[in-house]
Every structure is written in structure tokens, then in C-alpha cells.
Amino acid sequence: MMSTFKRFGLMRLRAFSFIIIFSCSGTPVFASFTLDPTFGSGGKVTISFPDSSTTYNSGALRVFVQPNNRILVGGTFTNRTPDGALTGIAWVGYTPGGSLDPGYGSGGKITDWRSDAFTNFRDALMYADGSTLRMSQVFRLPVGSSTVSAVRLSPNGVIDSLFASNVSIGPCCFGFFSARPEQIAVRGDGKILALMTDQGEYFLYRLNPDGTRDSSFGNNGVVAIVFNKVSSPSIVQMLTFDNGKILIVGNDPSSNFSNFFMTRLTETGSRDKTFGHVGSLRVPFGPGLTGTVRAVAAQSDGNILLSGSVVGPDTDVWMARFRPNGRLDSTFGSSGIAINDFAPGDVDFASSVLVSADGKIRIAGQLGQTSAATFLLARFSSTGSLEDQTNFAFSTGQFATASDLALQADGKVVVAGQARNPDIAINGNVFAVARLTE
């Protein structure tokens, strides 16, 4: 089973062949998704982080629902300086009705911005009590030193000062883009795993719950990871399991994105030889297809669900499910693969995937491109059959894209991303959040 938190010598699969069946869905077959009128304005809310310019920009990347039903949304924003716009991190707490929650942060908001650095949001997760843990890259100017920052916040948005004083992920390295965080995960025992890259090499850190290094793991809490045959891996997600094993999934730019890869490690950080070929798989998207894995989820039975998009020739929503041993699950979709074309001749893709307790699968992403892009939300059966889908904009004819989704205890779906600023005088995007009933 997967942890309650959260999201190589690579060889091609032998005899990896499958028939791909495309499902074209120009108009919804089902109509059960409905914007919730009790949330915000007609089921939608937006929020901006203005500065003195007319080009400020922001966007939500993660959304969580706390045990008290407060909705947390995390993402990035820009603030202009005399030398240009610098990025920062923002968290917003909403009441169940979609108003800013004054009990979270300062008036419902928390921002982390520096006048001497780009602060880039990389990953975040929520604990069972509603606390959050985020990891970011701090790229300092003008020397160009890049370091890793990890911050834990209480359910009400207060910084955990003990954790902050203890945590140490990566050395302070100089040179452009030398230290960059990739993914963060928490095991069932509270220990934290942080994956980072430094000067082209990958390192996995294991921390105790208080942020100190776990000296029983590798060399002072650090294990080096090598992704063989993938010259420039692009990490998508890292998952932890209750048995201590670790799964890392990514794209393979060196194959012109015709392949993706999965690597599973044991609790000690070594290759798990019971998975794939000596712990790794390098998998083609399919004959004549290129693609991008954007999200990964582990199911309660140990199966691994991947989602994203494939191009052939237009861009379509793609999902694949693998068994715990790394073999495709033939009971899912067509021979383990499900491709849905929600916008024939146009672009549609999944940015996030969520599996609920009943086995249903939900994806959030984008339908259409440029100014015509809208939020996309779809639900599938446990075997990958389409049950419901909808798409919607925040301003008519204006860009919007969904990045993440969460499920409330009452079954309502919360989706977050970014949309074109409703003030047409501002050339930028805003946080965009919607809630739907099913």
C-alpha cells in the first residue's frame, strides 16, 4: 500500500506491444459534473497578487482540503523590482464557501518572496492533520547560487521553527542552477524523502520528522541515484509505500519524449530488483507516439497509475496502469493503456490524477490551447472507462488551465490552476479555483 502522504540501467520492456483505442469525446457523454453554486461566484474564485506593474502573474499548482474543510491552494506569483520580475511562493486558505479564511496566515494568505532571488515552487504535500510541507528552489542574484528550501507550516499557516532550524537539504553550491529540488514525500513513519539534483547528479535525502538528517540512511542521510541510459531525466513524481519502497517516475528527453521511465528503490535507496528489469523500466508511449507523463498515483492495491498526454498527431489525454511488479495491467483500458481525445484536432492533457477510495479515477488538466484553453475535468471507472467529463473557462474566451485537484469528504471536487486575469488591462494570470458536484 502507498503511504498515507501524497504526489538506473534502464532497459526497454520485452515484447512491449499493445493496441491503442482512442475515445473521441467532442461533447460530454455524461453531464453529472456541475459547478457548485455554494462556492465563490457560480462555483469559481480567482485571486491575484498585484504589484505596481500591469504584467504581474500568478498561478496555483497544488490544492488540498484540510480536515476542517478549509481549502488550501499553493502556487507562484511575481513581484516586480527595478531589475525585473522575481518569483515567489503564495498559499491561500479558503473557507468552504470560497471566501478568504482569516484564520489562515494573514487574512487568508501567506507569501514568501525575496528581493534578491527567484523563489520557485517545486513540490508540496499535506499531512493528515492539515499541516503542509513544501520544497522550493532559491536562485540568488546576482551571483547565481541555487539552494534548496523546505518549509513546514501548521494547519493555520504558522512556520514550524524547529523544523526550519534543523532542515538541511543539499550544500550551498555556486554556479547557475547547481542545486534544484525535484520531489518531496513523507513515509508512514513521518520520515521525509527529498529528491534533488546538483550539477547533473541526483541525490535522495532522508530526514527525521523534525528535519534532522536520518544518519541510518546512506551517507549521513544521503544516497546518490544514477538513471542509466537517460542522459537528462525529467522527474515527474516520487511515491513512497508502506513497505518503505520508493518509486520515481520521469520523462526521457534523450529519446525525443518517445519513452518514459520508472525506477523503484528499496528502503535503503538501492535498486529494487523485484521491479521491472533490475529495478527499472524504460517504456515507449506507443508506435509513432511521443508523450509526457505529468502525474502519478499509487492505488491501495499497489498498482501504479500514470497520466499525461500523447501526441499522434494531436495531443490527447493518456493514462497507463502498471502492476506492483512493473508489468502493464491488462485489466485497465486496452492492454493497460487508455487514451481519450476530448478535443479532436486540438490539445487536451491531464496535469493531475487522483484515485478515490472506491477506485474511481479523476484527472484535471487542459482542453484547447492559447486563449481558447479551459479547465478540463474527467472521471473514469476503475478500469479506465470514461464516465464523465466537463470543461469550463473563468472568463469567456480567455486562457485557463488546471494543475491539481482534490476530493472533499462529501464527494465534491476542488480543482485549482491559473486563468487569464479578468482585468483585461493586466497582462498576466491569476490563481483560479473551482468546486464541482458529481
Question: Tell me, what's the pLDDT at 18?
Answer: 36
Task: Count H helices and E strands in the chain, helices first.
Answer: 1, 29
Residue 166, pLDDT above cutoff 50: yes
336-379 pLDDT tens trace: 999 999 999 999 999 999 999 999 999 999 999 988 899 999 99
> Looking at domain 22-437, does it have CATH number 1.20.1070.10?
no
**Percent of the chain surpassing pLDDT 90:** 77
pLDDT confidence bin for 245, thresholds 50/70/90: very high
Find out whether 151 and 158 touch, Cβ atoms under 8 Å. Answer: no
Residue 159 is given by DSSP the state: B
Interacting residues of 58 by C-beta distance below 8 A, sequence separation 6+: 47, 48, 49, 75, 76, 77, 78, 90, 418, 428, 429, 430, 431
pLDDT given for residue 110 in this prediction: 98
Average pLDDT in the chain: 90
Residue with cell 513540490: 123
Residue 73, pLDDT > 60, answer: yes
Burial 59-68 (b: 16+ CB within 10 A, else e): bbbbbbbbee
Distance CA 22, CA 251 (A): 22
Angle, CA of 390, 238 and 13, to the nearest 5°: 90
Per-domain residue ranges of the chain: 22-437
Cβ proximity of 333 and 383 under 8 Å: yes
Say what the pLDDT of residue 171 is. Answer: 63
Sheet holding 117-126, edge to edge: 117-126, 132-140, 145-153
pLDDT exceeds cutoff 80 at 19: no
Sole residue written with cell 462556492: 39
What pLDDT is recorded for position 177? 55
pLDDT at 198: 85
Q: Does 419 score more than 70 pLDDT? A: yes
Q: For residue 189, give every residue at least 6 positions away whose Cβ sits within 8 Å of its Cβ, in sequence order, or none.
A: none
Task: Give the pLDDT of residue 235.
Answer: 84
H helices of 111-246, in order, are: 161-166
Distance in angstroms (rounded) separating the CA atoms of residues 386 and 388:
6
Question: In 3-state terms, what secondary structure has residue 293?
Answer: strand
The answer to whether the beta carbons of residues 213 and 221 sit under 8 Å apart is yes
Reply yes or no on whether the pLDDT at 26 is more than 90. no
pLDDT for the residue 11: 26
d(CA 401, CA 404): 10
- By CB neighbour count within 10 A (0-12 exposed, 13-18 middle, 19+ buried), where does 421 fall? buried
Give the confidence band of 236 by pLDDT, cuts at 50, 70, 90: confident
For 224-231, what is the mean pLDDT?
Answer: 73
Rounded to an integer, what distance in angstroms lies between the CA atom of residue 208 and that of residue 186?
Answer: 10
Predicted local distance difference test score (pLDDT) of residue 231: 61
Main-chain phi, psi angles of 162, to 5 degrees: -65, -45
pLDDT number for residue 115: 94
The whole-angstrom separation of Cα 72 and Cα 76 is 14
Cα end-to-end distance, the chain, whole Å: 27
- C-alpha cell belonging to residue 271: 535498486
207 vs 180, residue with greater confidence: 207
Q: What is the pLDDT of residue 4?
A: 40
**130, 121, 170, 137: which is closest to 153 by C-alpha?**
130
pLDDT digits (tens, 9 = 90+) for 387-410: 999 999 999 989 999 999 999 999
- Phi–psi pair at 165, nearest 5 degrees: -75, -20
Look at residue 83 in the predicted model and tell me its pLDDT.
Answer: 82
Distance in angstroms (rounded) separating the CA atoms of residues 7 and 297: 7
Contact indicator for 389, 30 with CB cutoff of 8 Å: yes
What is the percent of the chain where pLDDT is above 70?
90
Predicted local confidence at residue 31, as pLDDT: 46
Q: Is the confidence at residue 74, as pLDDT, over 90?
A: yes
Binned at pLDDT 50, 70 and 90, residue 228 comes out as low
Q: What are the residue ranges of helices labelled H in 253-361? A: none
